[in-house]
Amino acid sequence: MKALRRFTVRAHLPQRLSALAALSTNLRWSWHGPTQDLFAELDPELWREVGQDPVRMLGEVPAARLDELAADDDYVARVEAADAGLRDYLTRPRWFQEQSGTDVAGIAYFSMEFGVTEVLPNYSGGLGILAGDHLKAASDLGLPLIGVGLLYRSGYFRQSLSADGWQLEHYPALDPQGLPLKLLTSEDGSPVLIHVGMPEGRVLRARVWIAQVGRIPLLLLDSDIAENDPELRAVTDRLYGGDQDHRIKQEILAGIGGVRAVRAYTHANGLPDPDVFHMNEGHAGFLGVERIREFVAAGLDFDTALAAVRAGTVFTTHTPVPAGIDRFPMSLVRRYFGGSEAESTLLPGLALDQILAFGREADPGVFNMANMGLRLAQRANGVSKLHGEVSRDMFASLWPGFDASEVPIGSVTNGVHAPTWAAREWLDKARELVGPELVEEARGWENLSDVDLGELWSTRQELRGVLIDEVRRRVRASWRQRGAAEAELGWVDSVFDPNVLTIGFARRVPTYKRLTLMLRDPDRLRALLLDPERPVQLVVAGKSHPADDGGKALIQQVVRFADDPAVRHRIVFLPDYDMSMARYLYWGCDVWLNNPLRPLEACGTSGMKSALNGGLNLSIRDGWWDEMFDGENGWSIPSADGVTDEVRRDDLEAAALYELVERTVAPRFYDRDERDVPVRWTEMVRHTLQTTSPQVLASRMVADYAQQYYGPAAAAFAKVSTDDFAGARALAEYRTRVDQAWPSVRVLQVDSSGLDIPVIGADLSLRARIDLAGLSPDDVTVEAVIGRVSPTDELTETTAFAMSLEGVTDGVHDFAITAPVPLSGAVGYTVRVLPRNALLASPAELGLVAVATG
Ligand SMILES: *Cc1c(COP(=O)(O)O)cnc(C)c1O
């Protein structure tokens, strides 16, 4: 008989072990080895069976075993020490508390997915894991941050393979009661319900689960409750499942419901209202509209509310791939936000057209969530230096008249949470050979120079061994699942060789990541795998979006190749890539391969996790690798950037990849000294650990956000909100005035002198006559822009000089400057007028500029 429904009953803990409850529900255990050990010790076998999940462990361990350990003074003492350690971690002032000048009351961080631990499978890939790492590092650094997202009944999906290698999807349902979550309740103990309006007068309700991630609460909205009708119950069923209609409901719940959940949470806990709201990708963009509604309800006019919201909002864009950006039909947004020019039904007080305008793009029928993010946030960034550049280009049309380099989108390069992703073996070795400060405080990397190469190599060998055991276990399970009998699987024991160069490739399977580039020339790949002297072995993993048959076909190609008895001991495809598998790959692979179509990989973080474990990256110079490859921490696969024929480009880049592996990577790995240590290789490992690791840390990333984005956003919000939003009113009034005047602002005439004998450094004098169309000279900056000029008169390498006001004649303002010519060669100049206001974050912010025309 099958159960209709399942639920989880938590065990009653002996009093002496009662601290295990708190240790199991604060997810800090997921990056704290000693706490994991305590749960493992309850029953090592069971610990593996329950997927290393402390809450399940406590539910399933026999009471007799708990009683036995309650009588074990040593175990009890360690539980108490871990409990005291956790309390200390949660209360002691940390990095953020020691910063001066970063006065931030609170940050609400919104993301559609969070990958904190495999126990809470609320993520699909890089974006979610990054969000999880962001919370963990924010906890370590002591930021006053609250995470906000949705709790999906079935997470993303579990992947397995059919006999012929086709991806199969499963959606096991999670029981929130069995997860490390607690409900947000009101004073009387009843669950808080968030309400969000839906078309036809319906109401979507959601309860709010709290996952405690160290010091950081993560609020997860859940619509699967009896108060909703079946259709609305299903809103939080799956991550990235369903159609556009389903998706917009999820995003409305995450954005609008998310803000309401934050209010309920801070209110219940006596916390200050967050002053900074961070949209991790455009999906949660509706949060900005809800905040405008709040301000309007409190009496501000729309423009003032918008100015206030923008000041405190940060938007991070995560992909240059158009398919990765949410674009809804305008008609759909219209339907959900409803109403008229006077009032939206979903957000009363706002006009529908005002909301629709936030998502406008070139195609009038489309509502673009990234554009909304950019319009609602005064500060925005990409996730690596190169991606910042690509994003400035990509979104340049929102700032017409500005060069792409002036588009106000910066960058913070992603990072990874070292305590989560570095192997215990490395942490132990670092403590022993360098000192605890390296592990506890990420200090003292330079001392790695003194560590013996043999020591480093032995850890690399050990971790490759751990990976190989895991590979064999998973290959066996996969074949069993594909229908093979145990008796046919003897060969699995010789899958992979502990002494062979091991290359990993694991990621989601969108086209631009090119899962099958390695298969471009199958014979050449076979030759690499089977090389008698210097073989390589390859572990591949990745999920394709369930609706993407193209991606599934790529997976099938790899599986079919790897099924061949001639190579199956050297190449494996492991189904169900997730955090629990990924960590073995990062620990054990010697080389981490990444071959995206440049520049479509915004950052990429898997290679960072590999580097943290001494893995050497072999990658196209895209994302993070473009800025962190230094010639000694791995290899760059030459990319054929200019080649527009994609087939030819793949051919060229695949050939370059084979060549590198054959001529450079493998020979170095197999070049051994008398102790059988590959000296040059291990020097690269040491160099990577020493110089790349400290750059890829999530703590570096979150500190960058705190200093470059959260601090300035909180300061900007304070400026516009004091004195009952006097600043926001002034800024809104300024914006309206400038918007109205701008079409008539003109550079009427420009005269120069001093160019008779042009030499570099000589003074150039410019005078410009400007029609300010009624604006005051204080409202603008008039700039002379001097730079290199192309045959088509494009200016590059520009330097801008502010011109000073000389006088007014007949309502026309005269500005002048004398400046040294900064360049030699073909030089040009122009004059432009920009808005100027102390409350603007950048002169390009309003997208207004008047440039002299010839
Ligand atoms: C790190 C990680 C990713 C993201 O890797 P990319 O290099 O950004 O593709 C995806 N899934 C899992 C399980 C990860 O750990």
Q: Is the CB of 129 under 6 A from ligand 1?
A: yes
**Rounded to 5 degrees, what are φ and ψ at 807?**
165, 175
Interhelix angle 63-70/73-91, rounded to 10 degrees, is: 90
Q: How does 518-528 read in b/e, with b if 16+ C-beta sit within 10 Å?
A: bbbeeebbbeb
- Expressed in angstroms and rounded, the spacing between residue 606 Cα and the centre of ligand 1 is 5
Decide: 507 in ligand 1 pocket, CB within 6 A: yes
Do 324 and 600 form a contact (C-beta atoms < 8 A)? no
pLDDT given at position 753 = 83
- Listing DSSP states for 168-192 in one string gives EEE-PPP-GGGSS-EE-B-TTSPBP
**685, 617 contact by CB (below 8 A):** no
Spacing, Cα 404 to ligand 1 middle (Å): 30
Tokens of 758: 């042009």
Q: How confident is the model at residue 825 (pLDDT cuts 50, 70, 90)?
A: confident
Q: Is 525 left (phi over 0), alpha (psi -120 to 50) or beta?
A: alpha
| CA angle, 603 then 609 then 610, to 5° | 110
| Contact of 506 with 582, CB cutoff 8 Å | yes
Query: Does the pLDDT at position 63 exceed 80?
Result: yes
Q: Please indicate whether residue 595, judged by its CB atom, sits closer than 6 Å to ligand 1.
A: no
- Beta-carbon count within 10 A of 170 CB: 10
> In this structure, are strands 634-637 and 795-802 parallel, antiparallel, or unpaired?
unpaired
pLDDT at 9: 64
Number of the ligand 1 atom closest to the C-alpha atom of 513: 9
Q: Is the CB of 609 under 6 A from ligand 1?
A: yes
Q: Domains of the chain: which residue ranges? A: 15-91, 95-411, 447-693, 741-851
Q: Which atom of ligand 1 is nearest to the CA of 607?
A: 7
Closest CA to 149 of 273, 287, 34: 287
Instruction: State the Cα–Cα distance between residues 572 and 111, nearest whole angstrom.
Output: 33
CA of residue 579 to ligand 1 center, whole Å: 8
Distance 126 CA to ligand 1 centre (A): 4
Atom of ligand 1 nearest to the CA of 416: 1
* CA angle (356 as vertex; 325, 345 as ends), nearest 5: 120
Q: pLDDT at position 619, please?
A: 97
540 C-alpha vs ligand 1 centroid, how far in Å? 13
Find out whether the beta carbon of 384 lies less than 6 Å from any atom of ligand 1. no
Spacing, Cα 378 to ligand 1 middle (Å): 29
Nearest by Cα to 513 from 539, 531, 540: 540
CA-to-CA separations, 536 to 148, 532, 569, in angstroms, rounded: 43, 10, 11
Cα 607 to middle of ligand 1, angstroms? 8
Whether the CB of 582 sits within 6 Å of ligand 1: yes
285-294, 319-328, 517-526, 609-618: which range is least confident on average?
319-328
* Euclidean distance between CA atoms 330 and 408, whole angstroms: 26
Q: Using pLDDT thresholds of 50, 70 and 90, give the confidence band for residue 342.
A: confident
Which protein residue's CA is at the shortest distance from atom 8 of ligand 1? 604
- In this prediction, residue 11 carries a pLDDT of 67
DSSP letters spanning 373-390? HHHH-SEEEESSHHHHHH
Whole-number pLDDT of residue 243:
95
Distance 161 CA to ligand 1 centre (A): 20
What are the Cα distances from residue 145, in Å, to 258, 262, 519, 768?
14, 11, 44, 49
For the Cβ of 387 lying below 6 angstroms from any atom of ligand 1, the answer is no
605 Cβ below 6 A of ligand 1: yes
Contact 606 CB / ligand 1 (< 6 Å): yes
Q: For residue 123, report the distance from its CA to the centre of ligand 1, in Å.
A: 10
Which of 606, 613, 618, when mutated, tests ligand 1's pocket best, judged by the most ligand atoms within 8 Å of its CB?
606
What is the token pair recorded at 375? 């319009």
DSSP H stretches of helix in 742-784: none
Residue 826's CB is within 10 A of a number of other CB atoms, namely 11
Ranges of beta strands (E only) in 267-329 are 276-280, 313-316, 327-329
Least confident range from 422-436, 561-575, 716-730, 747-761: namely 747-761
Task: Decide: 126 in ligand 1 pocket, CB within 6 A.
Answer: yes
Percent of the chain with pLDDT over 90: 90
Enumerate the β-bridge partners of residue 220: 149, 209
Cβ pair 478, 574 in contact under 8 A: yes
Say if ligand 1 is within 6 A of residue 280 CB: no
Q: Which of 325, 316, 249 is nearest to 276 (CA)?
A: 316
Query: Is the per-residue pLDDT at 413 higher than 90?
Result: yes
Tell whether the torsion through CA atoms of 421, 424, 426 and 428 is positive or negative.
positive
pLDDT of 761 reads 79
Report d(CA 705, CA 314) in Å as an integer.
Answer: 10
State which ligand 1 atom lies nearest to the alpha carbon of 586: 15
Would you say the CB of residue 338 lies under 6 angstroms from ligand 1? no
Residue of the nearest CA to atom 4 in ligand 1? 126
Q: Which atom of ligand 1 is nearest to the CA of 583?
A: 15
Burial class for 607, CB neighbours closer than 10 Å (0-12, 13-18, 19+): buried
- Distance from the alpha carbon of residue 90 to the mean position of ligand 1, in angstroms: 28
Nearest CA to ligand 1 atom 1: 606
Q: Categorize the per-residue pLDDT at 10 as very low, low, confident or very high, splitting at 50, 70 and 90.
A: low
> Token pair 């072999």 is at which residue?
618
Domain 447-693's class?
alpha beta
Q: Which ligand 1 atom sits nearest the alpha carbon of residue 594?
A: 7
CA of 604 to the centre of ligand 1 (A): 7
3-state secondary structure of 773: coil
DSSP notation for 606-645: HHHHHHHTTPEEEEES-HHHHHH--SSSEEEE---TT---
Distance CA 711, CA 706 (A): 6
Cα torsion 482, 486, 488, 491: sign: positive
pLDDT of the residue at 218:
98
Whose Cα sits closest to atom 3 in ligand 1? 126
Q: Measured from the CA of 130, which atom of ligand 1 is nearest?
A: 1
Q: Which of 154-163, 347-356, 432-441, 573-582 has the lowest mean pLDDT?
A: 432-441
Fold of 741-851: Immunoglobulin-like (2.60.40)
Spacing, Cα 720 to ligand 1 middle (Å): 39
Q: Are 473 and 507 within 8 A, CB to CB? A: no
Query: What confidence tier does 440 reach under pLDDT thresholds 50, 70, 90?
Result: confident
Q: Give the closest residue (by CA) to ligand 1 atom 5.
A: 606
CA-to-CA distance for 3 and 815, rounded, in angstroms? 81
Q: List the structure tokens of 376.
A: 């609602």
- Paired tokens of 304: 């003032």
Q: Is residue 579 in contact with ligand 1, taking CB distance under 6 Å?
A: yes
827 backbone φψ class: left, alpha, beta (φ>0; ψ -120 to 50): beta
Domains 95-411 and 447-693 agree in fold = yes
- Class of 95-411 in CATH: alpha beta
Q: What is the model's pLDDT at position 237?
A: 96
Q: Which among 275, 267, 268, 280 is positioned nearest to 291, based on CA atoms?
A: 275
Query: 314 CA to middle of ligand 1, Å?
Result: 24
Helix H, strand E, coil C: the string for 554-579 is HHHHHHHHHHCCCCCCCEEEECCCCH
pLDDT digit string (tens) for 689-748?
A: 999 999 999 999 999 999 999 999 999 999 999 999 999 999 999 999 999 999 999 999
Predicted pLDDT of residue 588: 98
Closest by CA position to 196, among listed 290, 283, 332: 290
The overall longest dimension of the chain from CA atoms, in Å, is: 97
Q: What are the pLDDT digits (tens) for 497-511?
A: 999 999 999 998 988
Edge-to-edge order in the sheet of strand 795-802? 795-802, 780-789, 827-835, 850-851
Please give the pLDDT value at position 4. 72
The answer for residues whose C-beta is within 8 angstroms of residue 363's C-beta and 6 or more apart is: none
The number of the ligand 1 atom at minimal distance from the alpha carbon of 601 is 8
CB distance 125 to ligand 1 below 6 Å: yes
Do residues 748 and 770 make contact, with C-beta atoms less than 8 angstroms apart? yes
Instruction: Supply the DSSP symbol for 744.
Output: G
Question: How many Å lie between the centroid of ligand 1 and the Cα of residue 598?
Answer: 18
Report CA(848)–ligand 1 centroid distance (Å).
39
Substitution site in 120, 129, 318, 603 for ligand 1 pocket (most atoms within 8 Å of beta carbon): 129
- Assess contact for 785 and 800: CB atoms under 8 A: yes
**591 pocket-lining for ligand 1 (C-beta < 6 Å):** no
Polymer length of the chain: 854
Confidence class for position 1, pLDDT limits 50, 70, 90 = confident
The finding on whether 281 has its CB within 6 A of some atom of ligand 1 is no
Q: How many CA atoms lie within 13 A of 404 on its CB side?
A: 10
Query: Atom 9, ligand 1: which residue's CA is nearest?
Result: 507
At 766, which amino acid appears? L
Contact residues for 425 (Cβ-Cβ < 8 A; gap 6+): 459, 462, 463, 587
Distance 176 CA to ligand 1 centre (A): 25
AA letter at 275: D
Ligand 1 pocket mutation pick from 605, 609, 620, 626 by most atoms within 8 angstroms of CB: 605
Give the neighbor-by-neighbor strand order of the sheet with 746-753.
Answer: 746-753, 763-771, 812-820, 804-809
Q: Which residues, 6+ apart, have CB-to-CB distance to 298 below 8 Å?
A: none
- Please tell me if the CB atom of residue 612 comes closer than 6 angstroms to any atom of ligand 1: no
pLDDT band at 756; cut points 50, 70, 90: low
With a 6 Å cutoff on the Cβ, whether 593 touches ligand 1 is no
**Residue 7, pLDDT above cutoff 70:** no
Look at residue 438 and give its three-state secondary structure: helix
Average pLDDT over every residue of 329-338: 96
Phi/psi of residue 691, nearest 5 degrees: -110, -30
- The verdict on the CB of residue 254 being under 6 Å from ligand 1 is no
Return the ligand 1 atom nearest residue 579 CA.
13
| pLDDT for the residue 755 | 65
Amino acid at the residue 425: E
Q: What is the pLDDT of residues 86-145, one digit of tens each?
A: 999 999 999 999 987 668 999 999 999 999 999 999 999 999 999 999 999 999 999 999
Distance (Å) from CA 527 to ligand 1 centroid = 29
Q: Is the CB of 578 under 6 A from ligand 1?
A: yes
Q: Encode burial over 3-13: b for 16+ CB neighbours within 10 A, e otherwise.
A: eeeeeeeeeeb
